[in-house]
Structure formats: structure tokens, C-alpha cells
Chains A and B, each alone.
Chain A
């Protein structure tokens, strides 16, 4: 299991065990509607799990993006910065937000697998 989810509607891919790629789920993308602006963390920033890592501005509202794990930001998606609509067109692929070096892999234990996340969506 290398893709996990959070109750805040983010996904995290750690197929590379040293770092995680983070984005928002298809559900979040649809719920937000047209995304017109994103604020990404700075490369090199050290973030604690649960900290605000960026901002997503849809036409209607601004939403915080949290980091599901602690670590140092190693890369941000410049293509997304230039074209925020990527987070609508392909939220779980080309619309990723940032990559973080995983500091403590035990933090992954509390994240949801796909089945658990889908169950969460059904319950809402």
C-alpha cells in the first residue's frame, strides 16, 4: 500500500519510501470546484504533521492544505502553480502539490487506505 488518504481529503503517495508526494483527492477537487490559485510551501521548509502547507483558492473560497506527515519539503509542483486548474483536471496525478522527505514513517500508520477513505466519503 503506497497511496494513503487523510480525513482532510488529501492523498499521499510514498512509493518512494524516503519521500511522499501529496495532493488533494478527486472528491476534494470536485467539491471545491474551479481552482484558480494555489499557494505552495517553500522548498526546504520543515513542516510538522498537520501544519498548514499551502492554500487552495477556488472561485468561492480559500481552503488550507495540511501536510499529513512531518518532514522537509523537497519539491513543489511548479506546473500546478502556473496552471492551478491541473488540480481539477488531474488531482491525483499531474495536479500534485508538494513532495516531503518522510521523517517518521510511523506517522503513516494513522492514515487511511483507499477502502477506508471511500467508506468515509460514503458516510458523509
Chain B
């Protein structure tokens, strides 16, 4: 077989020299991580336990992910929220202190330049953006709203994600005040004596925390978290299977320049106040496209698919009904939790009804798949009163 084309081969030294590293590189090496190039960074795809064990650790205990490759950007100044609302469809002006929202930068054609998390902190709005889009996002921000607010990449901050049902009990001993947080809210906190800002959020469907920490103390924090009982290090491989089971989109696969938020089923992230008739309707790139699709559903939509058996059905697989192509899979894997194939796909609206069937063409065989509403594995977010 060809191991080089799978992103699975170990890197040559010239390859790794051209890549960036997170502040946790030496910890990853010590833990025996398999490092692969990802979005310009050298990142752990897995540790010696392997992707499946790391996945299960996150579903049953807790997993620690290094996501420091992602971009953290501060927008500061009194006009920052209004300025950001010219680029995203979320209600940013209405974001209370320490509240967090999911949103996306849209393009004039209604495509998705990137999907982001926005948190209002004391010092301003803090965005977390995808690693692969970091530079494009910054250029976009600077060009569009650079005159209206200060735009400062938080390059000296690392980002760790502690995810899983045991995350809360881990935090209980290190920063118990964080247990008061509800899903999608945050707080500044001292974790094991290290100054951090944590949000109760993540990319796995589990309860958990995403922790912004000064880069020079990231390894110390990671080690403290790994020392807690039941916490396993997990890499990008498990992160991908976990987010897919949770039905969460991966930018570049399931959403991108060619998909609109409405096609992607992300209309829930466009609140009433930004919709036609709302107080601050539109005003972001492509809002006319979004408004028109809210009124007249577009011809295709994102759905979940499941199949019997154990053969993974992967991104790029064509979907047929009665011999005609009706869609394509954008992410697919064998669900480690469920033990059967799961996938996200775009299909024509006529084929998108939950309970309907499509045929996935894998190599020479045709695999029947059933349309379901994601998530595939129920979310277990914690919402405190």
C-alpha cells in the first residue's frame, strides 16, 4: 500500500523544518505522539494508545487535545461588536460579558470563509478561528474592519481542550469555580495557579472546557491536566471522529466557500435580530443570498447518513438514487462509538428527508445509507441555570 498519500507517513526532517509547532511539541514527543503536517503545523494525529482508544477515552472519561494551532484574535474597542456584525450573521452586539457564540465569516456569494467562536471578554471580543484559515481571516478582518477596532492576534496564547464526562471532576480539583459555567460561556480563572481563560465548549459533543493559556505555561498546565485521573492525551484523529459523531461541521470538508449557512443547516446560528425584518437584519456579506434561501429553501442540504455493516464510507463518495447522482459525502468514518458507518453529506432536497435512503458507491459496491438528523451520538453539554 502507499503510506505516503495518507498523511500517515512520518515526516522527513526537511518537511518538519518548514512547519510551525505549538508550545507543546516537546510534551507531544515525550508522550510518543505520531506527528503529521496539518494546516502548516506539526501536530499529533494520535498517541501510542491509538485513535480508537483516545476516542473512547473522551466518551467515557476525559481527553486532552492541543488545539494551539487554531487562531485566537482579540477585537478591542467600543465599535468592535458593530464592526464584527458587518462580517458575520450572529448577534454580537447582544453578546453578554463571558458569553460565547458560534458564527461564520460569509462571502458575498453566501459561502463560508471560516467558522468561528466569539466570546465577549473584559478586554474585547475574542475569536477562535480555524488554523488553516487563520491568515485569510486576519487579512479579511484587517481589510474590512481594521479602521474600526484594534485587531490583535493572541500569538502568545496556547489553546487546550479538555473534553469528556470526567472533565468536570478534573476541573473540580484544579479550578472549581469553572463548574458554575454553562455550555457556551466562559470565565477568567486560575487553573492550578496558572492564569487562564476557559469556556465550557468544545468540538466533541461532550461536556468540557477550552482553555486559553499563556504559551510559556501551556506545557505545565497540560501536564497538570494529564496527571489527573482518567485524562488521556488525544490527537487530531480522535478529534475528527468525535466531532463527526457529534454532527459538527469541519470547515474545508462540510462547509466552505461553496456552501451557504442555510444549505449547511446552520440557520440556527442566524438569530431573528439579523434575519429579514429583524432590528439589525443583514449587513454581512451574502446576506441577500441567505435571506433569499431562508424564504425559498435551496435545492440541496446537509444531512446525516448511517449504514449497516462496518465499511467506512468516506468524503468524496457519490450518492445515488435510482442510478442518478443526488449528492456527495463530505465527511465519513466508521463511528467508534456506534460501530457502524456515519457520514455528513449534501443531497438534493428531494432525497434529504429523514428516513429516506440513498446508495453510496464505494469502490465496486453500492452501500445503502439511511438519512438521519445529526448528531449521531447525543450531545452531553452542561447547561447550568
Contact = CB atoms under 8 A, between A and B. Distances in A.
A60 B336 CA distance: 12
Interface string A75-107: 000000000100010000000000000000000
A32 interface: yes
Nearest to A24: B1
A61 B7 contact: yes
Contacts of A48: none
Interface residues of A, number: 27
A111 interface: no
Contacts of A33: 8, 34, 45-46, 50-51, 237
A56 B1 contact: yes
Nearest to B314: A62
Contacts of B7: 60-61
B24 interface: no
B2 interface: yes
A47 interface: no
- Which secondary structure dominates chain B's binding surface? loop
Contact of B311 (A9, A34, A57): A57
A57 B362 CA distance: 12
Contacts of B240: 60
Interface in B261-314: 310-312, 314
Contacts of A9: 1, 3
B30 interface: no
B22 interface: no
A74 interface: no
B10 A60 contact: no
A56 to B, nearest CB: 6
Given A9-B1, A36-B312, A60 B6 contact: yes
A59 interface: yes
A60 B1 contact: no
B47 to A, nearest CB: 11
B232 to A, nearest CB: 15
B52 interface: yes
Interface string B346-364: 0000000000000000010
B9 interface: yes
16 contacts: A28-B1, A31-B8, A31-B10, A33-B237, A36-B334, A39-B363, A55-B363, A57-B311, A58-B6, A59-B334, A60-B51, A61-B7, A61-B314, A63-B2, A65-B1, A124-B12
Interface of A: 8-10, 24, 28, 31-34, 36-37, 39, 55-66, 84, 88, 124
